Amino acid sequence: MVALTSEQLKRLIETLANTVIAETERLTALDQAIGDGDHGLNMKRGFEAVLADLDGLSRKPLPDAVKAIGTHLVMKVGGASGPLYGSLFLTLGKELPAEPGLAEFATAFDAAFAAVKARGKSDVGQKTMLDVLGPVRDALAAASPDPLLGDRIKRVATEAAEATVNMKAIRGRASFLGERSIGHMDPGACSSALMISAVIDCLES
Ligand code: ADP
Ligand code: MG
Ligand code: MG
């Protein structure tokens, strides 16, 4: 299904990185409300490293490129989210075949989601990025190829991020606030939804 040329892979990686970088201030503001205010800059630093390696990354087969993005994120993002997003991309790259169909993508995403849970010792329902990654994992697992699938997954991701507003944080720095974490979107849930939407928009354009 997704047999990307290196030009398409380059555009995909570039769009993903630029989308995250463009939202630095929004991610910063969310993390200022319930964390330490660095999520925007952490993600920006990671994706600037990805952009700096854009030519090298886009010459690789898809699985290797995705793994290499994970390595950049592990090395550059820092904080709690660096190792977690690193695990997501490293596992996704490890599990994806070179030309994944929907079923292979769903299987790889399931493994990547499990890797983030294991790394974070966390699960859905704790007001973290897992509250977006989990519903997206479920939607992919239940999906069949359909022209509206991309829109549906984007809606799942966006609504799942919104749903973290009313949750109480049980993992990560926001958990230090207890009840006061309620009323703000989780920064990592927001960045996860942004990345998922950016990838879908680019694959569909
Ligand atoms: P830090 O909290 O170390 O400053 P960031 O601000 O970059 O790191 O990332 C914070 C985000 O990481 C949170 O909004 C949350 O989504 C995610 N997160 C933190 N801890 C965990 C965890 N144990 N499991 C899953 N996600 C987590
Ligand atoms: Mg932070
Ligand atoms: Mg921090």
End-to-end Cα spacing for the chain:
15
pLDDT for the residue 1: 58
* Domains defined for the chain, CATH in brackets: 6-204 (1.25.40.340)
What is the Cα–Cα distance from 149 to 200, expressed in whole angstroms?
10
**The pLDDT of residue 2:** 62
171 CA → ligand 3 middle, Å: 14
How high is the pLDDT of residue 75? Answer: 98
The answer, yes or no, to whether any atom of ligand 1 lies below 6 A from the CB of 36, is yes
From ligand 1's centre to the CA of 20, what distance in Å?
A: 16
Residues 187 and 27: their CA atoms lie apart, in Å, by: 6
pLDDT tens sequence across 55-83: 999 999 999 999 999 999 999 999 999 99
Task: Give the ligand whose atoms come closest to the C-alpha of residue 37.
Answer: 2
Mean pLDDT of the chain: 97
Q: What span, in angstroms and rounded, lies between the C-alpha atoms of 153 and 5?
A: 24
Measured by CA distance, the residue closest to atom 26 of ligand 1 is 128
Print burial letters for 34-51: b (CB count within 10 Å at least 16), e (below 16).
bbebbbbbbbbbbbebbb
Answer for the pair 194, 18: CB distance below 8 angstroms, yes or no: no
